Amino acid sequence: MSLFRNPFNADTRLACACGRHASPAEHDRAQGLDAAQDRAVESAVMRALFPQDDLRRRFLRAVGSGTAMAAVSSIFPLALAKEAFAQSTGPLEKQKLKVGFIPITCATPIIMAHPMGFYAKQGLDVEVVKTAGWALIRDKAMSGEYDAAHMLSPMPLAITLGAGTSGAVPWTMPAVENINGQAITLAMKHKDRRDPKDWKGFKLAVPFDYSMHNYLLRYYLAEHGIDPDTDVQIRSIPPPEMVANLRADNIDGFLAPDPVNQRAVYDGVGFIHILSKEIWDGHPCCAFAASKEFVTRMPNTYQALLKSIIEATAYAHDASHRKEIAAAIATPNYLNQPVTVLEQVLTGTYADGLGKVIKVPERIDFDPMPWPSFAVWILTQMKRWGQVRTDIDYQKIASEVFLATDAVRLMREAGMTPPTTKDKTFSVMGKPFDATKPDEYLASFKIRRT
Amino acid sequence: MSKPFLDIQSLAKRYPQRDGNPGPPVFDEVSFGIDRGQFVCVIGHSGCGKTTILNILAGIDHASEGVVIMDGREIDGPSLERGVVFQAHALLPWLTALQNVAFGVRSRWPEYSRDKVREHSVRYLEMVGLGHALDKKPSELSGGMKQRVGIARAFAIQPKMLLLDEPFGALDALTRGTIQDELRRIVRATQQTVFMITHDVDEAILLSDRILLMSTGPHARIAESVDIDLDPDRTRSSLHHEPRYYDIRNHLVDFLVDKAAHPKETISS
Amino acid sequence: MRGEKPWGAPLLSVVILVALLLVWHAATRSTAGEAVVDAEYAALVGGAAASGGKTPFPGPMDVGVQLWQHLKDPFYDRGPNDKGIGLQLAYSIVRVLGGFLLAAVVAIPLGFLIGMSRTVYRAFDPFIQVLKPISPLAWMPLALYTIKDADTSAVFVIFICSLWPMLVNTAFGVGAVRQDWLNVARTLEVSRLRTAFLVILPAAAPTIMTGMRISVGIAWLVIVAAEMLIGGTGIGYFVWNEWNNLSIANIICAILFIGVIGMLLDTVLARAARLVSYRE
């Protein structure tokens, strides 16, 4: 949960793969959510000042955290910034909002903000509307029927590039909904055939073409020497139909968002082969997305909405809340699933379908930071598989779509230039990703379409 | 001689052939007159164009040549002045007997109040003996009753001229007899001018003042006009006691069997 | 037929129903597996999976229980995504009636024009022939793209699909009015407008009503499909929501409700058709 780490602690790594919680996070929790927000602002400022995390740590070791805080405060009004972020900067342009969501566990922050009152706290009257599918949610968001929507993290990029839509519309992703939280599930009959090299001829399903699921599955297959376009068949199938298709033997497996994986286990139809966390720990999955028009035309409403989402995300991140959340979102109004299925997903203590009970507490986690390096990785994969065929300016698109908006805006208001991106490095299946060299990364893959 | 009330002059009807050229006329040079109050029948074989002549008189068909003048004016299209009783009663099946007649009455006198329309219609239905069947739909009436409603409707609009197209062709002999008597009674009481087409020789002799004999087409024409100067009070039962009845009848039958069957030129009168 | 009992047919229906239920019950007895799993695991999975099997197709008892749940409280409203079955059906019916009536208002006058004039008929015929067979599911994306609003799109799709039977039947009924009746009106010097209302309309009414009956059946069919695509409210959305939960029992309940409402709509129109029918 890197956004909520203490940036003034030389020992914390702000820019490292998440999933290894340091105690400052718990410390923040104890102090309440306002502290989390303060931390968010401080984090953003520090990150902006020291884009290279190494530099920040050396600086802190050199001067000590107390001096560092004073020094930074003298050149940047941290207190003011925190206050500014804590309150809305003006009257809300629009109070009644419609936010669409797809009934999967990734949407937990968007859904939770409703019954937990986070929207109301910001003065918003938000109606969370269950939507039938990704294409529909995209269309309704683009047509303006939804003010903001739950989307797959590649979707804002695709919409901005005009891939898969009738026209390019600038879209933004102010926050990531969740990280991890997916899995590869296979049909019961394949329980002795778990080496991907044996999967030639398999029919596999993903929820949507422009999804982390598609890219993760393809990456996983390619790393094992399977070409995802010629050796197997990958189809887009709506999540509820995945379990039914698995049961009917139409597909051999899928990489899907939860609760679909756990539901397959619950119904005795499949088993969980591998969690997505084991492919790329800390990968983004779903996003909270809004059109650039919404962000620029209604900045106060946008900020209020974003704040409620951040609060909800922090609440969901807290492991002690997970059981309560599972019970709240299981109702027919939201996910409409048996409570135990959601509990297993959210708490990470689950049945794997092969008779074992497994405990992985970070099976799903919630961190809103839209790292631009995520965007660059997604863009490389979109190019890798031929979804985008033109040359693109990775950094530009990443920074325009994946907004570290609060930091950017606060910086601008203080008269400073916005920070450049590329602030989180990570590895996927052991292979490190350098967001400054996307083309080399792309070229390093044997299996690709470009 | 003063002009007759209905004056038909040189009527002819041609239909286009399949290749588009006009064919030979079904009938041509058809000319005759009908005086006011006269009952004229036309007899001839099928295909000589009798119904076509009637349709032209009714205004729902047009002649290829010739003209029809009624009461000094050339006719042009259908008119309430020429009421029609169609071959197959043509009652509107969703309306009751009373409503059917009222339909005609209201078309003739749109200014009538509802009560007046009803009273007028009931009068004519009673005249044809259907006072007890006012609210029955046509499907609930026998063939004879349906035809009587048609007659009531035609009479109710009090047209200057009544056109009847084989009105009793579909009825059985007994019913036919009864209605014929009724029709004669009503026509004489109202002094209605009537033009009727029929196949039934006896019926023609009973009802008409004059019978027109048509030859067969193509080029059909009025071969002969026979005056019927029998007892004006004749009825169905008394008809065959008339001394000249069989003469007239034989003459007509001879024509139908012999001359009408052979499309030769004959004198028209 | 001598001695035909009036209760013969209903009794036979009941017998068939009972037979079907028995067959269904027998076919869905649980497919419990033989595997033994530990208690903690068993607690985390569904009943069938706990013994190594797959969750089975629900039997008539399960469906019956769900049916009762729905009928007990059909009009509850617990938020935009969770409403009682009565409310969902009401939403669907309103949309159907909206699209259907709109279609009637367009189809019947247009059908009249087409039926009365050969030229107009020939002019419109190619369009009708091409548009008639288009499936509602093909119209849906087009509607969403142009109209954008989901509810209006659903009503539009109902409209465009229930238009054709009414249009074709009206045109046919009007064109097939007996010439005799039209001649009666002509000889009575009835104006064209009065003829249209007093003669042609009642004469064509049974055929028009038949067209309406067919249309309402199609409209009801289409709304379920349309609502599954657009979500929100309605019986189609209910089916999709329960599909998400893989609750086959609820889906069967929904199917029963859909069938019953479809039957009611058809009955209403059949009654109306009887009012305007006549025997020649």
Q: In the structure, do chain A and chain B come into contact, i.e. share 3 or more CB pairs under 8 Å?
A: no
Last residue of a domain, which of A31, A54, A86? A86
Q: What is the mean pLDDT of residues A421-426?
A: 63
Sign of CA dihedral B251, B253, B258, B261: positive
Give the helix ranges, DSSP H, for B39-96.
Answer: 50-58
CB C155 within 8 A of CB C99: yes
Residue ranges of chain C whose CB lies within 8 Å of a chain B CB? 178, 180-181, 183-184, 186-190, 198-199, 202-203, 205, 276, 278-280
- Of the candidates A136, A268, A350, the beta carbon closest to that of C48 is on A268
Q: Which two tokens stand for residue A201?
A: 């001829």
Mean pLDDT of all residues in chain B? Answer: 87
Last residue of a domain, which of A60, A86, A112? A86
Question: What is the pLDDT at residue B261?
Answer: 56
Q: Which two tokens stand for residue A311?
A: 């609060």
- Give the contacts of C111 (CB within 8 A, at least 6 positions apart): C166, C167, C168, C169, C170, C171, C173, C174, C208, C211
Confidence of residue B268 (pLDDT cuts 50, 70, 90): very low
Chain C residues closer than 8 Å to B138 by CB: 280
Chain C residues closer than 8 Å to A129 by CB: 80-81, 231-232
- Examine the domain organization and report whether A292 and A152 are in the same domain: yes
Last residue of a domain, which of A277, A295, A321? A277
- Examine the domain organization and report whether A292 and A424 are in the same domain: yes
B 143-202 residues with CB < 8 A to C: 157
CA distance A419 to A60: 20
Residue A291 lies in a domain: yes
Query: Is A354 touching C (CB cutoff 8 A)?
Result: no
Question: What is the pLDDT at residue A417?
Answer: 43
CB B34 within 8 A of CB B193: yes
Which of B101, B59, B100 lies closest to B80 in space, CA to CA?
B59
Residue A349 lies in a domain: no
Question: What is the pLDDT at residue A234?
Answer: 92
Q: Which two tokens stand for residue A449?
A: 């379409």
Name which of C180, C181, C184, C201 to mutate to probe chain B: the one with the most chain B Cβ atoms within 10 A of its Cβ: C184
- Give the contacts of A370 (CB within 8 A, at least 6 positions apart): A173, A174, A175, A176, A284, A287, A402, A403, A404
What's the domain count of chain A? 3
- Of the candidates B82, B107, B138, the beta carbon closest to that of C190 is on B107
Query: Is B261 touching C (CB cutoff 8 A)?
Result: no
Which of B57, B9, B6 lies closest to B36 in space, CA to CA?
B6
Domain ranges of chain C: 8-57, 85-276
CB-CB under 8 Å, C80 with A129: yes
What are the residues facing B56 on neighbouring strands?
none
- Of the candidates B60, B138, B139, the beta carbon closest to that of C187 is on B60
Question: What is the pLDDT at residue B237?
Answer: 86
Chain A residues closer than 8 Å to C80 by CB: 127-130, 333
CB-CB under 8 Å, C189 with B79: yes
Kindly indicate whether the ipTM for this predicted assembly is greater than 0.95, answering yes or no.
no
CB-CB under 8 Å, A136 with C144: yes
Query: CA-CA distances (angstroms) from residue A398 to A288, A376, C274?
Result: 15, 6, 67
Query: CA-CA distances (angstroms) from residue C148 to A210, B117, B146?
Result: 22, 57, 59
pLDDT above 60: residue A422: no
Q: Tell me the CATH number at A130.
A: 3.40.190.10
Mind telling me how many Å the CA of B238 is from chain C's nearest CA? 35
What backbone torsions phi and psi does residue C100 show, to the nearest 5 degrees?
Answer: -65, -45
Query: Which one is predicted more confidently, A340 or C229?
Result: A340
Q: What is the mean pLDDT of residues A432-436?
A: 81
- Residue A346, classified by CB atoms within 10 Å of its CB into exposed (0-12), middle (13-18) or buried (19+), is buried
pLDDT above 50: residue A296: yes
Query: Is C77 touching A (CB cutoff 8 A)?
Result: no
pLDDT above 80: residue A203: yes
- Examine the domain organization and report whether A18 and A114 are in the same domain: no
Residue A351 lies in a domain: no
pLDDT above 80: residue B1: no
Question: What is the pLDDT at residue C187?
Answer: 92
CB-CB under 8 Å, C202 with B94: yes
Question: What is the pLDDT at residue C56?
Answer: 77
DSSP state of C198: I
Q: What is the mean pLDDT of residues A330-345?
A: 87
pLDDT in tens, B233-252: 888 888 888 888 999 999 99
Residue A448 lies in a domain: no
Q: Which fold has domain B1-76+162-168+193-269?
A: Rossmann fold (3.40.50)
Q: Which two tokens stand for residue B15?
A: 């239909």
CB-CB under 8 Å, B84 with C187: yes
- Give the contacts of B140 (CB within 8 A, at least 6 positions apart): none
Backbone Cα Rg of chain A: 21
Residue A336 lies in a domain: no
Query: CA-CA distances (angstroms) from residue A443 to A158, A439, B17, C112?
Result: 21, 6, 83, 68
CATH class of C85-276: mainly alpha
- Examine the domain organization and report whether A70 and A163 are in the same domain: no
Domain ranges of chain B: 1-76+162-168+193-269, 82-158
Range of the domain at A289: 96-178+284-331+367-443
Query: Which one is predicted more confidently, B189 or A4?
Result: B189
Query: Is A119 touching C (CB cutoff 8 A)?
Result: no
Query: Is A313 touching C (CB cutoff 8 A)?
Result: no
CB-CB under 8 Å, C44 with A131: no
Query: Is C143 touching A (CB cutoff 8 A)?
Result: no
Chain A residues closer than 8 Å to C81 by CB: 128-130, 332-334
Confidence of residue B27 (pLDDT cuts 50, 70, 90): confident
Chain C residues closer than 8 Å to B103 by CB: 188, 198
- Residue A446, classified by CB atoms within 10 Å of its CB into exposed (0-12), middle (13-18) or buried (19+), is exposed
Query: Which one is predicted more confidently, A370 or B110?
Result: B110
CA distance B93 to B87: 16
Q: What is the mean pLDDT of residues A263-277?
A: 89
Q: What is the pTM of this model?
A: 0.74
Residue A170 lies in a domain: yes
Question: What is the pLDDT at residue A205?
Answer: 93
pLDDT above 70: residue B259: no
